[in-house]
Chain A
């Protein structure tokens, strides 16, 4: 059974502050690491797909890094805004010989930005 762990489970941040959170995943047979943003009453929205060790991706104020050797990824939000309030999910796929399996999701980090 694959375990994808995200921490912290929830986070309260003041508007304007920067923040980051962690996704840990098995480092063997790594294939890809995905980050999603999930707002209440909406569907998960893709942020990044990362495949290479040392990958860094950026989208506006949000960026992510990847370390496949030690099995972790960080998501950073710079200058948090109220619209950043959401649950941030990471998901891992593993190579299984015939191709990649489906994504294994963590339970998410619930981020609340306080004005």
Chain B
């Protein structure tokens, strides 16, 4: 158990809908990262937040947004969902993130999103 929690574990929804995925980092970790794992794709970095502020951005679609709250939990919002958004979404956390590339990242169990 990494100490990172994600809810829900599974989510099934329809095209055009909007969903919110939630992540609580390990106690004391300031950075949260979101990744997407689609079929036949490697883990794709979406976005990083550090102590409430956006720190780095990857291949995140404009239909997706994220935020990190004062208690350091994070939410990933996915809107106008398409079939191709079906994937496993992971959250990871690390202690700092000011130099995020060198921090060990601890992954949560993931949320499996299915868009029908």
Contact = CB atoms under 8 A, between A and B. Distances in A.
B104 to A, nearest CB: 5
Interface string A73-105: 000000000000000010101110001111111
Given A4-B42, A99-B99, A102-B57, 14 more contacts: A31-B102, A43-B4, A43-B107, A45-B107, A49-B103, A99-B100, A100-B101, A101-B45, A101-B58, A102-B33, A102-B46, A102-B47, A102-B48, A103-B105
A44 B109 CA distance: 9
Interface residues of B, number: 30
B100 to A, nearest CB: 5
A31 B56 CA distance: 15
17 contacts: A4-B42, A31-B101, A43-B90, A44-B43, A45-B107, A46-B105, A49-B102, A89-B43, A91-B43, A93-B102, A100-B102, A102-B100, A103-B43, A103-B101, A104-B45, A107-B42, A108-B42
Interface of A: 4, 31-32, 34, 36, 42-46, 49, 51, 89, 91, 93-95, 99-108
A103 B98 contact: no
A13 to B, nearest CB: 22
A42 B110 CA distance: 9
B42 A101 contact: no
The 6 closest A-B pairs by CB, nearest first: A100-B101, A93-B101, A102-B45, A43-B107, A31-B101, A105-B43
A100 B97 CA distance: 9
B80 interface: no
Contacts of B107: 36, 43-45
Contacts of B43: 44, 89, 91, 103, 105
A44 B5 CA distance: 14
B108 to A, nearest CB: 6
A45 B105 CA distance: 9
A43 B48 contact: no
A99 B56 contact: yes
Contacts of A49: 102-104
B108 A43 contact: yes
Contacts of A95: 101
